[in-house]
Amino acid sequence: MKEFRLERMTYLETEAYSKKGAIVLLPIGPLEAHGPHLPLSVDFLGSEAMAEMSAERLNAQGTPAVMAPVIPIGVSEPSKMFSGTVSMKPETVKLVISDIAESFKRHDFKGTVIVNQHGERVNIETLIKTSAELTERGIPTIMANPIGRIMGKIHDMLRGESPECDFHAGEIETSFCLWKCPELVKTEVVKDLKPYYVKQKGKFKDFIEAGGTDCYFGAPALGKAELGEAIYEVIVEEIVKEVEGWASSL
Ligand SMILES: [Zn+2]
């Protein structure tokens, strides 16, 4: 497989990609508490995995793509009271993304795709708004965001009794970590975590108010490595479709 990670290439190799009309996948995700059993890196490792799998497939299917190193940024207000969580202001996220996308534009990459796993509402709104503003300024940028569209499909794969409420460090993200970084999962802790589901999650200002005092929502004990892999396959398939459509329209 040909190298597509920017940090491992020389500028001449990078240039060969931009001359072919390559796009750049930019994975981002904040350092954020994910229960007593998962590392703070869940969201940026998730975004990184999605970007890496997508870049591989895009290149194989004829859409040239490189991948930037994952940037640990995001707005994480609802979980900011938990130790280690870094929450940035929307303006900060916007400035960082804009500087990066402008740099890639300067070197003739066709566009930038923000790959983001962190589902906090303000974070998503910030990324969508930033992408639209950059595109407006002639710097084509999108946030690949298939998760909302395929959530039903993902929920059907879960075993917990309220899969629609499994949104943070529950069955989905525990499965992801058991697949990608099992050495970082506190397996002794996971098995005793009782499912905790919150309906109407948008009604709460933060995780504590929503009753998530252990910083998870869902059923962590049901996590399985095979499930993690299967879920990310579904997500990546959608990202690739979305990016192929977008790149061919540029
Ligand atoms: Zn997460």
State pLDDT tens for residues 182-215. 999 999 999 999 999 987 666 788 888 888 899 9
- The answer to whether the CB of 217 falls within 8 A of the CB of 198 is yes
pLDDT, residue 1, reads 64
pLDDT beyond 90 at 147: no
User: Tokens 């802790």 label which residue?
Assistant: 189
Tell me what the mean pLDDT of segment 67-73 comes to: 97
Is 195 inside a domain boundary?
A: yes
Among residues 50, 98, 46, the alpha carbon closest in space to that of 72 is found at 46
35 in a structural domain:
yes
For the segment 213-222, what is each residue's pLDDT rounded down to a tens digit?
Answer: 999 999 999 9
Residue 103 lies in a domain: yes
Q: Residue 115: enclosing H or E segment and its boundaries?
A: strand 112-116
- CATH code (residue 115): 3.40.50.10310
* CB half-sphere exposure, 138, CA atoms < 13 A: 3
Asked if pLDDT for residue 142 goes beyond 90, the answer is yes
For residue 150, tell me if it sits in a domain: yes
What is the whole-number distance in angstroms between the Cα of residue 23 and the centre of ligand 1? 26
Q: How far is the CA of 215 from the centre of ligand 1 (A)?
A: 11
Q: Provide the pLDDT confidence category of residue 32 given band limits of 50, 70 and 90.
A: very high
Residue 47 covered by a domain: yes
Helices (H), the chain: 11-19, 42-60, 90-106, 121-136, 147-157, 171-180, 187-190, 225-249
Tell me how far the alpha carbon of residue 122 lies from the centroid of ligand 1, in angstroms. Answer: 14
Say how many Å lie between the CA of residue 85 and the centre of ligand 1. Answer: 11
Q: Is residue 110 part of a domain?
A: yes
Question: Measured between alpha carbons, how far is 12 from 193 in angstroms, rounded to an integer?
Answer: 50
Pair of tokens at residue 41: 């890196």
Dihedral over Cα of 202, 205, 208, 211: its sign: negative
Please tell me the total count of domains within the chain: 1
Is position 75 within any domain? yes
Q: Residue 51 Cα, ligand 1 centroid: separation in angstroms?
A: 16
User: Residue 128: which domain range?
Assistant: 6-249
Q: What is the mean pLDDT of the chain?
A: 94
Residue 230 CA, ligand 1 centroid: distance in Å: 17
72 Cβ contact list (under 8 Å, min separation 6)? 28, 29, 30, 31, 41, 44, 86
Q: Tell me, yes or no, whether 1 lies in a domain.
A: no
Question: Is residue 226 very low, low, confident or very high in pLDDT (cuts 50, 70, 90)?
Answer: very high
Which phi and psi angles does 5 have, rounded to 5°? -90, 120
Q: From the CA of 224, how far away is ligand 1's center (Å)?
A: 16
Q: Is the pTM of this model over 0.85?
A: yes
The alpha carbon of 42 and the centre of ligand 1 are apart by a number of angstroms equal to: 6
